[in-house]
């Protein structure tokens, strides 16, 4: 964020540019009046309303549509400039989408399962457009879910769609929200969202202590990052049965996923194999730590990631029938993987591969480190394609159904092919391997995948 200030130098001594007493007095009055107007606007901006108070009168009753009351309260806050919408305990049914456009907005419930919002429509639950630089969206402490038993997914729960502004982007904080995981009406389980959270052009998004239950059969993304998102932090969340936990569809910087568990299709998907723009990078800066991902499809699909750290996590999958690659690195540069436990389903329909390093449209996977990782029930620990360069593996340990293939010490894998494996008795094993290569491995180009503003 940058700002510029242009002013006028004070007049030189003896110049004709002077202020007489009346002009000075008039200027002082004008400044005081402007300050009064600004303070009045600020006072109006600091408004707090409850959706159940007059004149809004929302009813926490499943038989009444609360959409008009919620929209009127949001409009009131928008007209005031900024403010807080409080939602008391109860179940509020919405038959139409809600929208907000204005300054900073805070939405506060009274806790998951205590304040419950039920969406009875197929649109987005709440679409927020913050129109001014430095504004914030804060949502916390409630449950939001589609109507149980819906045949199709609702479009999205919360969409923070922000116009990209050179002078400064807006912040987004989502804490303590349950996206349908605990809601059950008439014995029916909530269907889930096509997107629980949409972030577009956010700056310092903070998503913490959130839960969600989707429908893996029909798909859905828990967090969809769109536009240019900077410094996104996902902390201590627990999500089940979404096709994807987080997707990054365009260039972004700084994604942190910490102390989070996910059971579903794929935990993280960035870009695609056909992703291509003039920056040659989809995600600059990835940090994953203390996570448990139990996936039926690929655990991590990382395309065009520049600089990443994946630490102290448990990566399970894919399940039989969901593929044979746990982590795919395509066009990634400078990735470090430390103290990871891969647990596959070998033997299955095809041999399990824990790490598959390959090339993308323009760039090879290069300068990657795998240290002190363990591979259980894995056919092959690491597969390198012909464009992989400078992949280093240290402290590799493999286990398979009681028998083990162990490689200890430090081994540099750069332009090498099959390596002999040994078990902990020193015997060569033929049913598992810790390294394979596809074709010869000529030294690949390490084109820098940086991004410069």
pLDDT, mean of residues 326-331: 90
Indicate whether 5 pLDDT > 50: no
443 or 77, greater pLDDT: 77
Beta strands in 70-110 (DSSP E): 83-86, 90-94, 98-102, 105-108
Residues linked to residue 330 through DSSP beta bridges, in sequence order = 303, 358
Q: Which of 259, 248, 273 is nearest to 325 (CA)?
A: 273
CA distances to 22, 303, 393 from 435, rounded to whole Å, are 86, 21, 10
Indicate whether 338 pLDDT > 90: yes
> Taking a C-beta distance cutoff of 8 angstroms, is the pair 202, 229 a contact?
yes
Q: Which of 65, 107, 100, 109 is nearest to 84 (CA)?
A: 107
Residues linked to residue 195 through DSSP beta bridges, in sequence order = 156, 221
Highest-scoring range by mean pLDDT, 59-63, 329-333, 381-385, 408-412: 329-333
Q: Is domain 49-230 given the CATH code 2.160.20.10 in the classification?
A: yes
Mean pLDDT of the chain: 75
b/e code 28-64 from CB counts within 10 Å (16+ = b): eeeeeeeeeeeeeeeeeeeeebebbeeebebbbebee
What does the alpha-carbon distance between residue 33 and residue 292 come to, in Å, rounded to a whole number? 58
> Taking a C-beta distance cutoff of 8 angstroms, is the pair 161, 199 a contact?
no
Tens of pLDDT, residues 273-311 = 554 454 567 899 999 999 999 999 999 999 889 999 999
6 or 101, greater pLDDT: 101
> Taking a C-beta distance cutoff of 8 angstroms, is the pair 244, 215 a contact?
no
pLDDT for 430 equals: 42
pLDDT, mean of residues 235-264: 94
Lowest mean pLDDT among 46-50, 112-116, 122-126, 159-163: 159-163
CA distances to 231, 305, 444, 450, 451 from 278, rounded to whole Å, are 22, 15, 20, 10, 9
> Taking a C-beta distance cutoff of 8 angstroms, is the pair 138, 100 a contact?
no
pLDDT above 90 covers a percentage of the chain that reads 35
Residues 6+ away with beta carbon under 8 Å from 8: none
What does the alpha-carbon distance between residue 370 and residue 337 come to, in Å, rounded to a whole number? 5
**Domain boundaries defined on the chain:** 49-230
Cβ count within 10 A of residue 19: 11
What does the alpha-carbon distance between residue 150 and residue 268 come to, in Å, rounded to a whole number? 27
> Taking a C-beta distance cutoff of 8 angstroms, is the pair 359, 387 a contact?
yes
> Taking a C-beta distance cutoff of 8 angstroms, is the pair 290, 259 a contact?
yes
DSSP 217: T
What does the alpha-carbon distance between residue 75 and residue 79 come to, in Å, rounded to a whole number? 6
pLDDT, mean of residues 314-329: 86
What does the alpha-carbon distance between residue 280 and residue 284 come to, in Å, rounded to a whole number? 10
Positive or negative, the Cα torsion across 349, 332, 413, 257?
Answer: negative
pLDDT for 73 equals: 97
Chain-centroid distance of CA 335 in Å reads: 19
Indicate whether 247 pLDDT > 90: yes
> Taking a C-beta distance cutoff of 8 angstroms, is the pair 253, 285 a contact?
yes
Tens of pLDDT, residues 19-30 = 333 343 343 334
Residues 6+ away with beta carbon under 8 Å from 19: 27
pLDDT above 70 covers a percentage of the chain that reads 67
pLDDT for 58 equals: 94
DSSP 219: B
Tens of pLDDT, residues 163-216 = 555 445 578 999 999 987 545 444 555 567 888 999 988 888 999 999 988 877
Helix or strand holding residue 34 (H, E): helix 21-45
What does the alpha-carbon distance between residue 366 and residue 330 come to, in Å, rounded to a whole number? 10
What does the alpha-carbon distance between residue 252 and residue 110 come to, in Å, rounded to a whole number? 33
């Amino acid at each position: 964020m940058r700002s510029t200030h242009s002013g006028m130098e004070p007049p030189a001594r003896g110049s004709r540019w002077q202020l007489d007493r009346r002009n000075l007095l008039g200027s002082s009055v004008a400044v005081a009046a402007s300050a009064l107007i600004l303070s009045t606007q600020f006072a109006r901006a600091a408004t707090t309303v409850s959706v159940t108070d007059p004149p809004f009168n929302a009813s926490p009753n499943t038989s009444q549509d609360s959409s008009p009351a919620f929209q009127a309260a949001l409009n009131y806050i928008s007209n005031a400039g900024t403010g807080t919408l409080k939602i008391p305990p109860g179940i509020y049914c919405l038959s139409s989408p809600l929208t907000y456009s204005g300054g900073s907005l805070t939405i506060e419930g009274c806790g998951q399962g205590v304040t419950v919002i039920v969406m009875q429509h197929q649109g987005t639950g709440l679409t927020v457009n913050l129109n001014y630089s430095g504004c914030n969206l804060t949502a916390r402490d409630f449950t939001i879910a589609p109507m149980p038993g819906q045949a199709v997914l609702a479009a999205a729960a919360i969409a923070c769609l922000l116009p990209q502004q050179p002078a400064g982007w807006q912040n987004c904080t989502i804490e303590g929200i349950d996206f349908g995981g605990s809601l059950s009406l008439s014995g029916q389980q909530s269907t889930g969202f096509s997107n629980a959270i949409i972030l577009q052009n956010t700056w310092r998004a903070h998503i913490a202590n959130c839960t969600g239950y989707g429908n893996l059969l029909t798909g859905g993304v828990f967090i969809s990052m769109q536009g240019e998102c900077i410094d996104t932090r996902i902390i201590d969340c627990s999500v089940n049965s979404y096709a994807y936990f987080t997707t990054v569809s365009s260039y972004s910087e700084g994604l942190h996923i910490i102390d989070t568990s996910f059971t579903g299709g794929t935990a993280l998907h960035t870009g695609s194999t056909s992703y291509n723009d003039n920056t040659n990078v989809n995600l600059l800066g990835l940090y994953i730590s203390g996570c448990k991902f139990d996936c039926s499809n690929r655990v991590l699909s990382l395309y065009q990631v520049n600089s990443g750290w994946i630490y102290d996590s448990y990566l399970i999958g894919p399940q039989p029938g969901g593929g044979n690659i746990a982590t795919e690195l395509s066009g990634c540069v400078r990735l470090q993987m430390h103290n990871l436990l891969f647990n596959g389903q070998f033997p299955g329909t095809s041999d399990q591969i824990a790490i598959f390093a390959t090339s993308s449209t323009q760039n090879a996977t290069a300068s990657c480190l795998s240290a002190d990782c363990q591979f259980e029930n894995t056919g092959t620990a690491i597969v390198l394609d012909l464009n992989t360069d400078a992949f280093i593996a240290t402290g590799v340990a493999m286990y398979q159904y009681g028998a083990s293939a162990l490689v200890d010490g430090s081994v540099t894998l750069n332009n090498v092919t099959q390596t002999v494996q040994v078990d902990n008795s020193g015997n060569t094993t033929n049913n598992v391997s810790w390294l394979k290569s596809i074709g010869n491995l000529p030294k690949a180009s390490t084109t820098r995948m940086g991004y410069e503003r």
